[in-house]
């Protein structure tokens, strides 16, 4: 603005000077001065005017150049100020995030329960990185089958359904490479086909970050954040997520070991079925619930016929193989009824069927007996078959006491054995 005002003043002065010269020339012309003198005077005026014009033009150019230089400096300062403001905001965000790490560690140390550790990790990164928007997914790795299982999710859209329970192409990439993944904008990422991915998942994903949880070179799971907005996540977000997963991997491994210890305490180490003590505790709880809701509950006591002969003929190792096989058959044959299965002792098994009356349980028991009888078992290169005797008792038809229920099922089983074995009996 000041440059334009100065230029106008200069040009106004030159114009005034030119007008004055014209007036002087006009006066001289009317005074009838000698033509040569008059021409010399005009020529001198032109030279003076040209010199002044050149002088002031250069001065105007220098002034404009200086003004442009100052404006460039102002623009640079503005850019620096904007950059410093962005840096300060980013620094404040980092400080906020890292201040929350102490609380995160304290929360992780409060419990060894797997579900609590997973929830704490997921909710913290969802809040601190995603600002409680988008989707957070937590997968655990099934090392036996080398696949992912979705165990926890947070969504800002309650109607959103995550169909990929075993992970999608992004999660498989992290699983395969055991490495972090960032996609700032899926449309510009040559590694993945955005159209086919969105069709498969039935949900919009434009940017995401994912980090594996690795402890002692073992991949335990992965934590993923995603957004519908492109460019939502950056490298700082990925670094913070990686730091959280590094801390979380230790807590997750401890939780998995704790859960495994608990599982071993309530499961038979040979058949992987529940132990007798745990089964009785669950039976009492289920019996109380059945009484309260006026529902049925049935028990099946199962005994392998002539099991001692298998041990004597084929050895105890083969006897253990028979026990394992019966445990597997019980799981497969009764899976639709959601049973509680127990190795009650030796070659005896106990099955609890909640919500099933005695009539239905007798039918199920007979089908189970036939299934076991028809199953072929290879023992020392010999095809063998086993049979079982099953006793059935139900609440509240046979008794209202859970301990007596076990006794009645056991008595019914011995009745089946006394009648020749390989059959189903009830009291």
Structural domain range at position 69 = 2-81
pTM: 0.60
270-329 pLDDT, tens per residue?
A: 999 999 999 999 999 999 999 999 999 999 999 999 888 878 887 888 888 889 999 999
Model pLDDT, residue 137: 96
Is a pLDDT exceeding 60 seen at residue 200?
A: no
Whether residue 422 is contained in a domain is answered as yes
Whether residue 399 is contained in a domain is answered as yes
* Residue range 331-344: mean pLDDT, rounded: 94
Whether residue 398 is contained in a domain is answered as yes
Whether residue 228 is contained in a domain is answered as yes
* Residue range 113-140: mean pLDDT, rounded: 92
**285 lies in the same domain as 399:** yes
**183 lies in the same domain as 225:** yes
pLDDT-derived band at 5, boundaries 50, 70, 90: low
49-92 pLDDT, tens per residue?
A: 677 667 777 777 787 777 777 778 888 887 887 877 766 666 67
The last residue of a domain, from among 64, 81, 98: 81
Whether residue 87 is contained in a domain is answered as no
Model pLDDT, residue 181: 95
360-415 pLDDT, tens per residue?
A: 999 999 999 999 999 888 777 778 889 999 999 999 999 999 999 999 999 999 99
Q: What is the token pair recorded at 156?
A: 């800002």
Task: Give the CATH number, domain containing residue 322.
Answer: 3.30.70.270
Model pLDDT, residue 110: 81
Whether residue 100 is contained in a domain is answered as no
Whether residue 293 is contained in a domain is answered as yes
**54 lies in the same domain as 135:** no
Is a pLDDT exceeding 90 seen at residue 37?
A: no
Model pLDDT, residue 154: 94
The last residue of a domain, from among 208, 228, 260: 260
How many whole angstroms separate alpha carbon 237 and alpha carbon 190? 21
**23 lies in the same domain as 147:** no
**73 lies in the same domain as 142:** no
**332 lies in the same domain as 356:** yes
Is a pLDDT exceeding 90 seen at residue 103?
A: no
Say how many domains are in the chain: 3
**143 lies in the same domain as 173:** yes
**73 lies in the same domain as 144:** no
Model pLDDT, residue 425: 95
**300 lies in the same domain as 385:** yes
Whether residue 165 is contained in a domain is answered as yes
Is a pLDDT exceeding 60 seen at residue 11?
A: no
């Amino acid at each position: 603005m000041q440059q334009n005002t100065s230029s106008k003043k200069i040009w106004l002065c030159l114009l005034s000077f030119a007008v004055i010269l014209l007036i002087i020339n006009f006066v001289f012309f009317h005074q009838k001065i000698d033509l040569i003198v008059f021409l010399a005077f005009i020529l001198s005026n032109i030279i003076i005017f040209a010199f002044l014009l050149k002088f002031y033009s250069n001065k105007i150019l220098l002034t404009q150049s200086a003004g442009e230089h100052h404006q460039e400096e102002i623009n640079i300062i503005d850019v620096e100020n904007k950059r410093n403001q962005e840096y300060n905001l980013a620094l404040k965000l980092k400080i906020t995030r890292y201040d929350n790490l102490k609380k995160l560690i304290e929360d992780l140390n409060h419990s060894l329960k797997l579900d609590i550790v997973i929830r704490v990790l997921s909710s913290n990164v969802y809040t601190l990185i995603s600002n409680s928007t988008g989707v957070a997914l937590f997968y655990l790795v099934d090392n036996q089958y080398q696949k992912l299982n979705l165990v926890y999710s947070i969504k800002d859209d309650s109607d959103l359904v995550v169909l990929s329970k075993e992970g999608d192409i992004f999660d498989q990439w992290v699983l395969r490479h055991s490495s972090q993944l960032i996609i700032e904008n899926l449309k510009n990422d040559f590694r993945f086909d955005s159209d086919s991915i969105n069709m498969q998942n039935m949900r919009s994903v434009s940017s995401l970050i994912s980090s594996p949880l690795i402890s002692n070179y073992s991949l335990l799971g992965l934590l993923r954040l995603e957004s519908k907005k492109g460019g939502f996540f950056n490298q700082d977000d990925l670094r913070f997520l990686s730091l959280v997963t590094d801390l979380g991997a230790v807590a997750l491994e401890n939780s998995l070991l704790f859960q495994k210890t608990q599982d071993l305490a309530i499961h038979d180490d040979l058949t992987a079925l529940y132990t007798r003590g745990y089964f009785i505790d669950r039976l009492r709880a289920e019996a109380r619930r059945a009484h309260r809701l006026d529902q049925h509950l049935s028990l099946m006591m199962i005994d392998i016929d002539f099991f001692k002969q298998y041990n004597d003929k084929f050895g105890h190792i083969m006897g253990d193989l028979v026990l394992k096989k019966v445990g597997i058959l019980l799981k497969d044959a009764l899976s639709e009824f959601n049973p509680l299965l127990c190795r009650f002792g030796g070659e005896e098994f106990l099955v609890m069927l909640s919500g099933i009356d005695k009539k239905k349980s007798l039918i199920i028991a007979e089908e189970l007996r036939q299934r076991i009888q028809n199953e072929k078992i290879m023992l020392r290169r010999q095809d063998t078959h086993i049979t079982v005797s099953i006793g059935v008792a139900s609440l509240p038809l046979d008794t209202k006491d859970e301990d007596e229920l076990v006794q009645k099922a056991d008595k019914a089983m011995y009745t089946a054995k006394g009648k020749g074995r390989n059959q189903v009996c009830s009291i």
